[in-house]
Amino acid sequence: MSLIRPRQHPVKLGRSAKDGVRTQFGALIWRWRKDKLQILLVKSRRRKRWIIPKGWPMDGQTPVQAAATEAWEEAGIKGRPAPICIGLYSYLKYPRDGDLPMPCVVAVFPLKARWVFDRYPEAHQRKRKWVSAKKAASLVNEPELAQILRHFDPRHYRL
């Protein structure tokens, strides 16, 4: 038996709210097609990397509700989110103003796709792609997210 050890990006914890670690909430969007699990990835707006929809906490919303909102805004998906965090991953967010990168930790919530819309808030800014879990893991840059995607099986949860 071998242990899988994803490479951890170094994270420097700051001393104030401005330079500390930020929390985001992400949606791992999934569906079954011909008895095969598919995961939806979207392109990031500026750096054009494959990612899962994610965003900042929102007033009046729980973390899972915020993840579902991001699924709608960034991917045009409505569905049933599961209120269980299935993993965490870290990455560095590079601000537009050229400021120092911000360390972020993303809590990931699975969301079963029920409806896929062609018109959604960020449709003109992002591409989206349904792929296998293995392919999704190979397309993302964050090793911790890749491991979450590679090992995701909705049958292990009551989703």
Domain assignment of residue 126, yes or no: yes
Distance spanning both ends of the chain, measured CA to CA: 29
Write out the residue range of the structural domain in which residue 141 sits: 22-156
At 60, which CATH number? 3.90.79.10
Helix ranges (DSSP H) in 82-139: 133-139
Domain assignment of residue 2, yes or no: no
Split into its structural domains, the chain has a count of: 1
- Are 105 and 63 within 8 A, CB to CB? no
Domain assignment of residue 7, yes or no: no
- Are 104 and 57 within 8 A, CB to CB? no
Domain assignment of residue 6, yes or no: no
Domain assignment of residue 50, yes or no: yes
- Are 50 and 41 within 8 A, CB to CB? yes
pLDDT tens digits, 96-138: 887 889 999 999 999 999 999 999 999 999 999 999 999 999 9
Q: What angle do CA 117, 140, 59 make, to 5 degrees?
A: 55
Where the chain has pLDDT below 70, the residues are: 1-19, 158-159
Domain assignment of residue 88, yes or no: yes
Amino acid, single-letter form, for residue 20 = G
pLDDT at 12: 45
Domain assignment of residue 56, yes or no: yes
- The answer, as to whether pTM is greater than 0.85, is yes
Rounded Cα–Cα distance for residues 96 and 133 (Å):
31
Rounded Cα–Cα distance for residues 147 and 134 (Å):
9
